[in-house]
Structure 1
């Protein structure tokens, strides 16, 4: 039978229900208990021998002669319900068997009892429709065979796939853990603009839109960084924001054009203090979800214990890319090496950009245990202070675990003259053809001139952290409604 034929039959059933009940989609549910409450207090409620009312979606129907058993589900819990013709009455019994399908929402009332097989059950004395499932539910979900379908029809995915539901519930727990940790450490949650007249704070290509009333182009933010640092000038000492950011770049298992970022800043703190705080924050999230300090990701056990391993950017490339003399290699030599690694680079890219692409392609996948990578090239760190110890490197760290970059953090530039100089270089790179740069923001420079305290800042990819802690390998599996090309 085709889907259209099934749908037409169900529409006929809907008409019959309307004739009897009037509304099949009532506003009032008329329940006295939810199913979870009934199951938890089952023995007590059964002894009271009082009628109660529950509501939910029918997930299975089993007919035995004149008797009907069906499972009623509310969220993650189910209760068996039992219909007998001589208890319910012939009219309602016949209407149920002829017009109700798996997937329909109904309300039922009756008395609790336990079957001979010790099954907790409700003997139904009355029922009423709450919503008709005009389309049939999938009989089963085939997982990996329907990857695109799961992304496009997330409602069905959540309905039929318990693993998917649990993953998104864990996502909620992870975000709550991050928020609770920062709130408990004196941070204030704030909101900054998503529509921005200039984009900045990350090396990325933006999405552009147009505001008709103001007749001006605007950008969807690539990061909230520059607005959050304005708040540091404004005498807020610890702030953070959890929100959507947008980057008009490629899509892969770790990148989505729309993603969730946690970004935070703390005044009068060195970035080494921030490393300690980030260790604690990540460990708190792991403990909240896993109830221990270790996880399994991609078949490997990863343990989170202080202190996390630390390695410089240069050391990591020497060790894992087997390039011992990178300090002495010029841009042309690095371009040749990058090509050998399968990294296609534009000649306009800076030396640091080439090294960073080699790092992403070759090095990062080896960093399984939690590792701080420090002292990145200064030309790919336009908002980070310069290291006094290592020339041409920044006071910056990334936290990587499971081969995934989780956190990017700096000792923030608070010298307006230095910041202007860095952004001038970024503008030059843009003119030479590199679109993934930060643009000059005169208003931000002007704000810095009022004075910003020494500040350490971080950005954390929330979706990637959820991937890591739920052992999920595609970022679209941790975003409820990922960006997809229309069919």
Structure 2
């Protein structure tokens, strides 16, 4: 039965298109097409007929399909821009060639519609390569208008959330993902050429293992027990070495229930590889090889630029110990020869904070992060990591406090992590027990005791090297992308409407409204007691509270809590303030907001960055699901009409 044609609402483009769809169906036409045989791609037309001179016509028949990206009607002639696989070509449409009815139907098409066309190749007198259309058919009716052509889709959050539109409107985004596909393919080919088998291991793990990270937990109904989404593929892959496969690798997803920032996403892609009868040096050679292969596939060169800095991937990359690099960065000796208190002092002088449970090895690793990491611009293998932070690595033969492990750093960030693998079951069991003790003391990222893995090692695992590389971060480097979200097709985002908020029941609504806030049961709220001590007016008046505008906001690398704000405080100079609120807000949602800050606090160095002031927030507690109190935090956001620098009295 034909669909009833609803009244057209002229000022609502979605309803106009829905009415066109209804009219087509009422006329017995399917607005969602069928299979369509093409003779060429648009790219093949652009290449194969590039020789045509201005004004040339041919009898070369072609059949192509694509999305209408622009339409211009001039009397009895219409020009359409058709895009397919990132390539554009003009359609030259005349009423004489199509006939009146078909020409009218063509003029009724909307930008965004998918069509198939048949015609002949030509070049207009103005030099535009074109297809002279003699017939067309609608393959898919677009009901939602694309963003306006000349301004495109520029809002980052909308781009990430609606990647399908981002790919249509921004050809450079498509190029990034084409490079990503080439990078993954090049790594896979390189590994296979080196004799590695690609294998698949489970996503669901009964025990956390292979890395120190907080896992996602799910319930396995059939076994009636909790399982973890994998945080690494290491232990299953090394079981295969026990079983006799000498070279194995896996490219796949890992899941870590941790924060999001420009270099981290809770769901990410890695390549892990393990090879029998080799060691750390073999893994460094292998890593240089597959990264260089990926760079050549994506960039065609080993000399690349990342965010304005030249990076040379050619030649043999530097190899230096963590102790050596930490000492260089700190300007003094950083080693196991120092007392723990001395190492704590070095860390705190460089903006870090030491926890009571940390030994010398962890302190050295933290000092390295604070003073050396960001300086490692060119490819550098950081070797000889402390045993305390490397529970799966083999001890260094010359120093039992160190391990045979490397991390590859480029542009101040880690790209790969590798070991001479520990294959002593007794030693491994001791390290697992240490991890269990750490978990009992409150470390929710520590590994569990994997008895089956110990059993596998007891059957004998050959000496081996292993390496893991972050594919997403490598793609960022080779595509010059500033954020991991720029190289993930579908990055994780906060809900458009908070849980419990009202959602519009009308899917065709085209005007966005602010979502209703999540209701708060104030009867359960717990607030801190008011101060009993009074403060005199002169002391209070010394605190300089100002309205500030958020110019930029980003997560601080290596911190799960800190956000770095760049603020307009009305002085004409940008102000930087760090705030530990990442658990409550994503940085992009705060840009453009008007906040309140105290601006005359002395600068405080946090993660090596001077924080000049404090963002004001309101904190309360509510009972959690387990009945224990949970903290809630809300930034003090004020009317955007308040100018930057306005003082609070």
**TM bucket, shorter chain:** over 0.9
> 3-state SS of the aligned residue for 1:418?
helix
Q: Is the 8 A contact 2:58 2:122 kept in 1?
A: no
* Cα deviation digits, residues 268-295 of structure 1 (max 9, x gap): 1122122122222222222222222211
Structure number with greater Rg is: 2
Matched, 1:81 2:91: yes
> 1: distance between equivalents of 2:210 and 2:75?
69
Task: Give 1:32's aligned residue.
Answer: 39
1:231-380 equivalences in 2 (<5 Å) = 231-380=240-389
> 1: distance between equivalents of 2:396 and 2:378?
25
1:18-417 equivalences in 2 (<5 Å) = 18-20=25-27, 22-42=29-49, 49=59, 51-97=61-107, 99-140=108-149, 146-417=155-426
Tell me how far 1:365 sits from its aligned partner.
0.8
Relative to structure 1, the CA distance from residue 81 to residue 49 in structure 2 (aligned partners, 3 Å threshold; closer, same or farther) is same
> 1: distance between equivalents of 2:354 and 2:50?
69
Tell me how far 1:379 sits from its aligned partner.
1.0
Of 418-427 and 298-307, deviating more is: 298-307
Relative to structure 1, the CA distance from residue 144 to residue 160 in structure 2 (aligned partners, 3 Å threshold; closer, same or farther) is closer
> 3-state SS of the aligned residue for 1:436?
coil
Of 279-288 and 444-453, deviating more is: 279-288
Tell me how far 1:20 sits from its aligned partner.
4.2
Higher helix content, 1 or 2: 1
Task: Give 2:454's aligned residue.
Answer: 445
Pick 1 or 2: higher relative contact order, CA cutoff 8 A, min separation 6.
Answer: 1
> 1: distance between equivalents of 2:282 and 2:414?
20
Give the TM-score taking structure 2 as reference length. 0.71
> 2: distance between equivalents of 1:142 and 1:312?
50
Of 134-143 and 114-123, deviating more is: 134-143
Q: Is the 8 A contact 2:278 2:464 kept in 1?
A: yes
Of 283-292 and 325-334, deviating more is: 325-334
Tell me how far 1:484 sits from its aligned partner.
1.5
Of 462-471 and 8-17, deviating more is: 8-17
> 2: distance between equivalents of 1:193 and 1:240?
14
Q: Is the 8 A contact 1:13 1:100 kept in 2?
A: no
> 2: distance between equivalents of 1:454 and 1:485?
45
Of 276-285 and 157-166, deviating more is: 276-285
Of 31-40 and 138-147, deviating more is: 138-147
Q: Is the 8 A contact 1:200 1:222 kept in 2?
A: yes
Task: Give 2:439's aligned residue.
Answer: 430
> 3-state SS of the aligned residue for 2:378?
coil
Relative to structure 1, the CA distance from residue 49 to residue 325 in structure 2 (aligned partners, 3 Å threshold; closer, same or farther) is closer
> 2: distance between equivalents of 1:484 and 1:380?
31
> 3-state SS of the aligned residue for 2:245?
coil
> 2: distance between equivalents of 1:339 and 1:31?
66
Give the TM-score taking structure 1 as reference length. 0.94
Task: Give 1:6's aligned residue.
Answer: 13
* Cα deviation digits, residues 317-368 of structure 1 (max 9, x gap): 1111334244344444444543443434432334333332332343211001
> 3-state SS of the aligned residue for 2:418?
strand
> 1: distance between equivalents of 2:359 and 2:216?
24
Relative to structure 1, the CA distance from residue 100 to residue 143 in structure 2 (aligned partners, 3 Å threshold; closer, same or farther) is closer
Over aligned residue pairs, what C-alpha RMSD do you find?
2.3
Of 10-19 and 434-443, deviating more is: 10-19
> 3-state SS of the aligned residue for 1:393?
strand
> 3-state SS of the aligned residue for 2:372?
helix
Unaligned runs of 5+ in 1: none
Of 346-355 and 257-266, deviating more is: 346-355
